Amino acid sequence: MKRKRSTGALFVLPALVLLAVFVFIPLIGVLGLSLTDFGVYSLADSANLHVIGAANYWHLLRDREAWQALETTLVVVVVGVPATLFLSLVSALMIESIAERWRGMFRTALFVPVVCSTVAIAISWRYLLNTRFGLVNHLLALLGLGAPDWLGSPHLAILAITIVVVWKGFGYGMIIVSAARKEIPDELYDAARIEGAGVHQRLLRITVPMLAPTLGLLALLDVSGYWQLFAEPYVLTQGGPLGSTTSLLLLMYERGFRWWRWGAASAIAVALTAVMWLFAWVQRHTRAGWRGE
């Protein structure tokens, strides 16, 4: 028995070592850094390195830019995640109703943004959203609508970022939902038809609840992905206009890797991670469902 346990430990050891090297040690390092005022001057002379306790966190709490970044990030999460899930679900279900020979083409088309480089996508969208020459405003003009300044106005810029993020993200969910949809036995639909459920009833009472665990998983992935929003605003707007698209991660990047305030940046990183873990924990413990556990 004892021997068995040590053999087991041997098998998980590589994974543990990897976790330690790539997750725990950096995490503890970042946690430690966040309690100091580590920066360029500390690098020059270690006498300039102080442990300042939670000061970085207190600063964060009183930092307007941090609150704005939090708001920006939350907007993208709160608007973007449901939108992504909705589009993933709808596109997955709609693609099924397309004639088989076109299906692959549509699926690929919708999946392409997922595998494209974010930078390339952001650059294309910058052109699409150009106020004067962009395709988006051109189409709006055809509909007789105004020409909004997508990337120039703070409210629209965050919307534009959300649109780009969702557009890039939902194809992945679509593939996952498609696969999960195929797992639902046809008999369930047959049974429901015999029992008198129409198309909508079958969708709402069978398809959606059967996909719920998958959608829940996707929601977790999307929340954690969007919570770490970085590349889109970095390329599309550099966090502007007026800081309206500076996400928390972008703020952390700027403070850490542009202005070398590692202590302050680490505090943001720790806060980001803590919220993420909190979310995962809540998600785990509220996951109701027929798969039990």
Q: Which residues bind other proteins (CB under 8 A)?
A: 22-23, 26-27, 30, 37, 39-41, 43-45, 47-48, 126-127, 130-133, 151-152, 185, 187-188, 190-197, 201, 205-206, 209-210, 212, 225, 228-231, 237-238, 240-243, 249, 252-253, 257-260, 269, 272-273, 289-292
**DSSP code, position 189:** H
CB of 206 vs other proteins, minimal distance in Å: 7
Cross-strand pairs, 51: 36
Q: Which is nearer to other proteins, 95 or 251 (CB)?
A: 251
Distance (Å, rounded) from C-alpha 117 to C-alpha 280? 27
Distance (Å, rounded) from C-alpha 265 to C-alpha 252? 5
Q: Which is nearer to other proteins, 5 or 132 (CB)?
A: 132
Q: Which is nearer to other proteins, 11 or 133 (CB)?
A: 133
CB of 228 vs other proteins, minimal distance in Å: 4
CB of 247 vs other proteins, minimal distance in Å: 10
Q: Which is nearer to other proteins, 10 or 198 (CB)?
A: 198
Report whether 66 contacts 60 (CB < 8 A).
Answer: yes
Kindly report the number of other CB atoms within 10 A of residue 109's CB atom.
Answer: 10
Q: Which is nearer to other proteins, 22 or 67 (CB)?
A: 22
Q: CA-CA distances (angstroms) from residue 106 to 90, 102, 128, 273?
A: 13, 6, 21, 36
Q: Which is nearer to other proteins, 210 or 220 (CB)?
A: 210
CB of 230 vs other proteins, minimal distance in Å: 5
Place of tokens 């679509």: 174
Distance (Å, rounded) from C-alpha 29 to C-alpha 22? 11
Please calculate the CA angle 283-287-290 and round it to the nearest 5 degrees.
Answer: 160
CB of 255 vs other proteins, minimal distance in Å: 9
3-state helix, strand, coil in the chain (%, to 5): 75, 0, 25
**Which of these, 116, 118, 125, lies nearest to 157 by C-alpha position?**
125
CB of 196 vs other proteins, minimal distance in Å: 4
